[in-house]
Amino acid sequence: MRLTFTIQRFNPEVDSSAHPQEIRLDVGRGMTVLDALIRIKQECDGSLALRYSCRSSICGSCAMTINGSEKLACRTSLRKELERHRQITVAPLRNFPVIKDLVVDMAPFWGKIRDVQPWLSPGSALPRAGGAHSHPEFHNVDACIMCGACVAACTVYEVSKGFAGPAALAKADRFLSDPREAGASTRARLSALQGEHGIWDCTRCNFCVEVCPKDVQPMEAIIRLRRASLDRGMTTTGGARHILGFTSLVEQQGHLNEALMPLKVVGLSPSRLLHILPLGIKMLLKGKIPNPLGHAFPGLSHLKALIRRAKRPMPPV
Amino acid sequence: MKYALYPGCAAQGATPELYQSTRAIIGRLGIEVVELAAASCCGAGVVTEVHPDMALAINARTFAQAEALGLDVMTICGTCQGVMSAANQRLKTEPGTLDRINALLAPEGLTYQGHVQVKHLLWIVVRDIGLARLGDLVSVPMRDFHIAPFYGCYILRPSWDLGFDDPENPQSLERVITAVGGEPVPYEGRTKCCGFPIILEKEAIAVAMAGAHMSEAKDQGADFLVTPCPLCHMSLDIYQERAGRAVGRELHLPILHLPQLLGLAMGISAKDLGLAHHLISVDSIVATLGRRQTHS
């Protein structure tokens, strides 16, 4: 079958901006996008730049944007892509500087990884109980192949390049889960992630979870880091106040209450209150501020009792 | 066609127009509902960050209430849909979880067997009512309107929990827009994040996200946006002025809730659809449609 590939090309030595190139190629059954790109480079246009190595979803070098989504070219079937999108478009990963064609500069990615100090600190304790006999629980985060797909798909990183990003934060969670990490190191690790571009920037959009080729679920790792922060009393950031305030409203009223939520997050900071006040007034005038006392509903006492039971620690199995 | 209606917090709070417009259209669509008046918040993906079992328990309680009525749940909020789909999936498939949570429900005399399906109004319109039937109900077509769909995150991802639209290329909103006579606007931002979950504590990031998507939709010729999620609505409507400042332009894009779009197309009045609650005025759309009605 003859297929048209639309490939985004960019050569910084001659191009002022990226442009699409259409290339037609005879393809066979069972081919992947990477198989096709290698043949295009060999048979149609040797100047096409792409990065690949293992061809079997292990090395993580061939992540790119295929039909608008982040994928490893080596594990993406041409047939399935055609069924899903009726076309094949290939572009470099988003959110990364492009070096040439499909090759992006991974330096910012490695920088973010380095920032979370992905190593055990000197002075780390010997394995805790269970030790060498039990496999540490890394929640599959250790399956990460650093392909960059999650960072390319991250909707926060798209507008805020300072954000640590899903890959680095998942890496931090992997070390948090390591039984050899000393308590003090864990605390320091979490403490460093409370800052401006840390764990509280994530909107939980689930893009990273959806695109990860290894089911690492970086967003779930970020949620574990948030929970671990609360467990250690790190509750003063806006993000921590948000999730604690939200949960306490559900405990008290059974529902979220938008009249109280901003106060839970902002607290009593006069400048922040002044910042949200204009919107609050507009909402009030438009009938968008609910009764701060909530609304009574049948079964609230049952609900409160249920929440008390659910929050009780489970007896050890 | 009967469902247990789960309105969610936003429709009973800061987006009362969503509840109002839902109530105004469901009869016309042939949907009968029993409202789950004793149901709580779904947790919005937030409660689970603090206490996972609390989040599962409050959702299992809602499902048990619907199951007792013998009805599937209808949501009108993309976030509720995503959170409840994920909770339901865990309860139905994770070994031991349903039993553990049922033990928590027992003192209230509730139990969940795992038989309830949770469906967003959008899915019910597309799959259960059908677009042909919807087309028959349209009396004021959205002719000449370029309408940008804004899905939001939770109704699409993770796809294995939701199982309706393809998150890489969803089509349900586009098909609804076409069925009511409008022209769907293609743009990348339609599946991205509105920023709402961090808008109170990280406003600069959130409004930059919302602003980028609205700006893109406007560049593609959108007259207005339609969303199945009230949290996206808050980000796009209430914060639109600030989002515009973040991207350096005035946006002036009215944002409709899905049931408001359906309602306008079925000739329901602006008042009954709660359009006066919006911060970004919908008047120009209503006026255009009104002129068409008087001429026809």
ipTM (interface predicted TM): 0.96
> Do residue B193 and residue A255 have CB atoms under 8 angstroms apart?
no
Q: What is d(CA B36, CA B12) in angstroms, rounded to the nearest whole number?
A: 13
- Nearest CA to CA, how far is B181 from chain A (Å)? 24
Q: Are residue A217 and residue A146 in the same domain, yes or no?
A: yes
Q: Which of A159, A227, A302 sits opposite B205 (nearest CB)?
A: A159
Flag whether A316 is in a domain: no
Query: Is B104–A310 a contact, with Cβ atoms under 8 angstroms apart?
Result: yes
Residue of A285, A287, A291, A265 whose CA lies nearest to A276: A265
Q: Any idea where the domains of chain B sit in the sequence?
A: 2-120, 137-295
> Does residue B188 belong to the interface with chain A, where contact is any CB pair within 8 Å?
yes
Taking CB atoms and an 8 Å limit, are A68 and B9 in contact across chains?
Answer: no
Residue A136 and residue A139: Cα distance in Å, rounded? 9
Q: Which chain A residue's Cα is nearest to B196? A: A203
Chain A and chain B share a number of CB contacts under 8 A equal to 192
Determine whether the interchain pair B159/A254 forms a contact, defined as Cβ–Cβ distance below 8 Å.
Answer: no
What are residue A6's phi and psi, to 5 degrees? -105, 110
Q: What is the pTM of this model?
A: 0.96
Contact, B91 vs B112, CB < 8 A?
Answer: yes
Considering only residues 157 to 176 of chain B, which have any Cβ-Cβ distance to chain A shorter than 8 Å? 157-159, 166-169
Out of A104, A134, A163, a domain closes at: A104
Look at residue B35 in the predicted model and tell me its pLDDT.
98
CB interface of A with B, residues 190-249, below 8 Å: 200-207, 209-210, 223, 226-227, 230, 237-239, 241-244, 246-247
Query: Domain ends where: A104, A128, A158?
Result: A104
CATH code of residue A21 = 3.10.20.30
Residues of A in Cβ contact (< 8 Å) with B196 = 203
d(CA B45, CA B241): 27
Range of the domain at A58: 2-104
Q: Is B281 in the A-facing interface, judged by CB distances under 8 Å? A: no
User: Is residue A155 located within the same domain as residue A198?
Assistant: yes
pLDDT at A124: 57
Tell me the nearest-neighbour CA distance from A241 into chain B, angstroms: 9
Domain match, A201 and A303 both: no
Q: How many domains does chain A have?
A: 3
Q: Judge if A129 and A33 occupy the same domain.
A: no
> In whole angstroms, what is the distance from residue B63 CA to residue B57 CA?
10
Identify the CATH number of the domain defined by range B2-120.
1.20.1050.140
Whether residue A317 lies inside any domain: the answer is: no
A163 and A251 belong to one structural domain: no
- Dihedrals phi, psi of B34, to nearest 5 degrees: -110, 120
- CA B215 to chain centroid, in Å, comes to 21
Domain boundary among A65, A80, A104: A104
Each residue's pLDDT tens digit in chain A (317 positions)? 899 999 999 999 999 999 999 999 999 989 999 999 999 999 999 999 999 999 999 999 999 999 999 999 999 999 999 999 999 999 999 999 999 999 999 999 999 999 999 998 776 556 555 555 556 689 999 999 999 999 999 999 999 999 999 999 999 999 999 988 888 889 999 999 999 999 999 999 999 999 999 999 999 999 999 999 999 999 999 999 999 999 999 999 999 999 999 999 988 889 989 999 999 999 999 999 999 998 888 899 999 999 999 998 765 54
The token pair at B134 is: 């919807």
Task: For residues A130 and A222, state if they share a domain.
Answer: yes
The Cα B42–Cα B55 span in angstroms is 7
Indicate if A128 and A24 belong to the same structural domain: no
**pLDDT computed for residue A132 by the predictor:** 53
Angle, helices B52-69/B97-105, rounded to nearest 10 degrees = 70
| CA–CA separation, B107 and B99 (whole Å) | 14
Nearest chain B alpha carbon to A256 = B9
Residue A7 lies in a domain: yes
Contact (CB<8Å) A286/B200: no
Residues of chain B with pLDDT under 70: 295-296
**DSSP SS3 for B3:** strand
- B137-295: what CATH class? alpha beta
- pLDDT at position A297 is 87
Q: Closest to B167 (Cβ–Cβ): which among A204, A210, A261? A: A210
What pLDDT does residue A257 have?
94
The encoded tokens of residue A7 equal: 């490939």
User: What is the amino acid identity at position A106?
Assistant: M
CATH, residue A120: 1.10.1060.10
Does residue B200 sit at the A interface (CB-CB below 8 Å)?
yes
Q: Which two tokens stand for residue B229?
A: 């999620």
- A138 and A212 inside one domain: yes
